[in-house]
């Protein structure tokens, strides 16, 4: 299937090596082919996420068959639809979760993983939605089944995941506790809706969580830190709590005492989205469209955008995430 006004090639970020050190550069590659269940999107903006940094470093290769181009989320305009696709058409504006390919001018996306750009949101805003909203919904609401009235603890409250988790948990009636590394970031967490914000550099989050919950602990904990936090999460958890580990900022290994896991009847879970089947991601997209997109369009939830940069400055965008001073998402705008 071809459309005459589409180019045969596009600009995209490629991962190269110089003296065994990986780096990113803009290259020209063939336009991706649109499969029967896919849409081809002309990308306006793409979100930057920590898995992208891991991919560039060689620690998070794309699944078999996925694009080698970094970028797990995008927003743009549909320019072609596959023969089996009936719910999208050329000209529709969408944002989407992808297994790779976001750092480019065009990408093919399984139609099931697309969502409409919410009313009132720019392409930049929309590009900051999919990766964090899919991740938080899948873990906190599908797997952990967070309920109204429960206490939710999220580490890294000013990360893309953190800012999303705070808003979603609060919108669905939970008491929210967030950790962050500066007083400024703690204030940002409170402004997003956190009931309690803990500066983990000057406060013990276990003690603070116990104080905030009258000694009961948190019912659901979303952790991107791991390492020594595994043991501390056990201490901060309530009876029958659900703990989700979705990243390893302090390493994938931990030495811990598992006795609290038994005595408190805790559930310890982990997940990644990238390699999951399209059907699973499509189900998450359906839930978000039904339950979360109306909240975004009503102005009750919004992506937090720290900075936008042009696609060619992908290295600078990654440096911002590595530095850790950002609050919210970093977005690449595509010319």
**CA angle (319, 324, 330) in 5-degree steps:** 60
Q: Are 82 and 48 in contact (CB under 8 A)?
A: no
Q: Are 101 and 65 in contact (CB under 8 A)?
A: no
Phi first, then psi: give them for residue 269, nearest 5 degrees. -130, 160
Q: Cα separation of 262 and 246, whole Å?
A: 22
Phi first, then psi: give them for residue 226, nearest 5 degrees. 60, -145
Q: Cα separation of 245 and 229, whole Å?
A: 10
Q: Kind and range of the H or E element at 52?
A: helix 50-56
Structure tokens at 322: 């590595």
Structure confidence at residue 241 (pLDDT): 98
Structure confidence at residue 1 (pLDDT): 41
Q: Are 49 and 160 in contact (CB under 8 A)?
A: yes
* β-pair type (218-223, 305-310): unpaired
Q: Are 310 and 48 in contact (CB under 8 A)?
A: no
Which domains occur in the chain, in start order? 9-129+274-333 (3.90.180.10), 133-270 (3.40.50.720)
**Per-residue CA distances from 112 to 61, 85, 117 (Å):** 23, 9, 14
Q: Helix H segments across 57-182?
A: 123-127, 130-136, 160-171
Q: Cα separation of 127 and 45, whole Å?
A: 6
How many beta carbons lie within 10 A of that of residue 51, not counting itself? 20
Q: Cα separation of 238 and 186, whole Å?
A: 23
In order along its 335 residues, the chain shows pLDDT tens digits of 445 589 999 999 999 999 889 999 999 999 999 999 999 999 999 999 999 999 999 999 999 999 999 999 999 999 999 999 999 999 999 999 999 999 999 999 999 999 999 999 999 999 999 999 999 999 999 999 999 999 999 999 999 999 999 999 999 999 999 999 999 999 999 999 999 999 999 999 999 999 999 999 999 999 999 999 999 999 999 999 999 999 998 889 999 999 999 999 999 999 999 999 999 999 999 999 999 999 999 999 999 999 999 999 999 999 999 999 999 999 999 98
DSSP 77: E
Structure confidence at residue 20 (pLDDT): 87
């Amino acid at each position: 299937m071809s459309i005459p006004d589409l180019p045969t090639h596009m600009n995209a970020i490629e991962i190269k090596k110089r003296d065994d050190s990986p780096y990113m550069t803009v290259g020209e590659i063939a336009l991706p082919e649109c499969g029967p269940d896919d849409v081809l999107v002309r990308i306006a903006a793409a979100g930057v996420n920590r898995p992208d940094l891991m991919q560039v470093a060689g620690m998070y290769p794309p699944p078999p068959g996925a694009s080698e181009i970094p970028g797990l989320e995008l927003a743009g305009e549909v320019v072609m639809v596959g023969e089996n696709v009936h719910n999208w058409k050329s000209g529709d504006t969408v944002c989407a979760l992808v297994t790779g390919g976001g750092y480019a001018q065009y990408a093919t996306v399984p139609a099931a993983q697309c969502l409409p750009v919410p009313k009132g949101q720019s392409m930049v805003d929309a590009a900051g939605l999919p990766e964090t909203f899919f991740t938080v919904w899948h873990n906190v609401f599908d797997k952990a089944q967070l309920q109204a009235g429960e206490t939710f603890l999220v580490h890294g409250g000013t990360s893309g995941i953190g800012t999303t988790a705070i808003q979603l948990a609060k919108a669905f009636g939970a008491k929210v506790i967030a950790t962050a590394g500066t007083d400024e970031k703690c204030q940002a967490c409170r402004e997003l809706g956190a009931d309690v914000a803990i500066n983990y550099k000057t406060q013990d989050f276990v003690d603070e969580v116990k104080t905030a919950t009258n000694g009961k602990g948190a019912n659901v904990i979303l952790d991107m830190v791991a390492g020594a936090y595994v043991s501390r999460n056990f201490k901060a958890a309530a009876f029958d709590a659900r703990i989700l580990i979705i990243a390893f900022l302090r390493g994938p290994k931990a030495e811990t005492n598992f006795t609290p896991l038994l005595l408190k009847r805790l559930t310890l879970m982990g997940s990644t989205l990238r390699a999951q089947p399209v059907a699973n991601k499509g189900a998450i997209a359906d839930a978000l469209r039904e339950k979360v997109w109306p909240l975004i369009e009503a102005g009750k939830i919004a992506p937090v955008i720290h900075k936008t940069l042009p696609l060619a400055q992908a290295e600078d965008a990654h440096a911002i995430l590595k530095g850790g001073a950002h609050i919210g998402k970093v977005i690449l705008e595509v010319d």
